[in-house]
Amino acid sequence: MKIVLIGYMGSGKSTIGKLLSKKLNINFIDLDEYIESKLNMSVLEIFSSKGEIFFRKKEHEYVQELMLEKKSFILSTGGGTPCYSNNLGVISEKTSNVFYLKVSIPGLVDRLSKEKEHRPVIKNIPDEDLPEFIGKHLFERNNFYLQSTNIISCDGKTAEEITEEIASGLA
């Protein structure tokens, strides 16, 4: 079984992915970490030295590689993954267990203002501009996120509750 978590930066994909992995005893893969280990560079370094287009090409290559694997896994994607290169199509062809972790704009602003530093897309956005940036960005990305087969509203729920909801919604 392959379970794929998608959602905006800071929506909790990695946290939930790890909890789900423990609960279901299925291997957990964080796509950003997978890319970092393959290229031996942090995502921040890849963006700054090779550029975003290079990152998106590699991201696509590794999504394809992973989705072709026979093994089961829980994959937490990067916030942009489903929005480029038909990655969502590649993922959806192999599993119907795609879960969008939906968090409100204020919820995302609250989480991301505390952890911008390792995220190249928002690193240089001043805190006061974050709500507008995230609002616009999410509006664009929702075209992709909302195509997910399962949408989990995360506001006001604990990580354990979200994990439980995903586990009981598996196809």
Nearest to 150, CA basis, from 132, 129, 168: 168
Distance CA 68, CA 27 (A): 16
Residue with Cβ nearer ligand S3P (103 or 171): 103
Residue 149 beta carbon to ligand S3P: minimum distance, rounded to whole angstroms: 20
Do 109 and 65 touch, CB atoms closer than 8 A? no
x/- track of binding to ligand S3P for residues 68-107 (CB under 6 A): ----------xxx---------------------------
Long-range CB contacts (within 8 A, 24+) of 149-153: 149/92, 149/96, 149/97, 149/98, 149/99, 150/97, 150/98, 150/99, 150/100, 151/99, 151/100, 151/102, 152/99, 152/100, 152/101, 152/102, 153/102
Nearer to ligand S3P, 83 or 166 (CB): 83
Residue placing its CB nearer to ligand S3P in the complex, 31 or 166: 31
| Residue nearest ligand S3P, Cβ-based | 78
Q: Which is nearer to ligand S3P, 43 or 63 (CB)?
A: 43
Q: What is the dihedral of CA 73, 140, 52, 66, to 10 degrees?
A: 20
Question: Which of 15/149 has CB closer to ligand S3P?
Answer: 15
Instruction: Give the x/- contact pattern for ligand S3P in 21-50, rule: CB under 6 A.
Output: -----------x----------x-------
By the 8 A CB rule, do 60 and 82 touch?
A: no
Options 4, 6, 9, 130; binder of ligand S3P; rule CB under 6 A: 9
Residues 119-138 that bind ligand S3P (CB under 6 A): 119-121
Angle between helices 13-24 and 159-168 (to 10 degrees): 60
Nearest distance from residue 79's CB to ligand S3P, in Å?
3
Interface residues toward ligand S3P, by CB under 6 A: 9, 32, 43, 78-80, 119-121
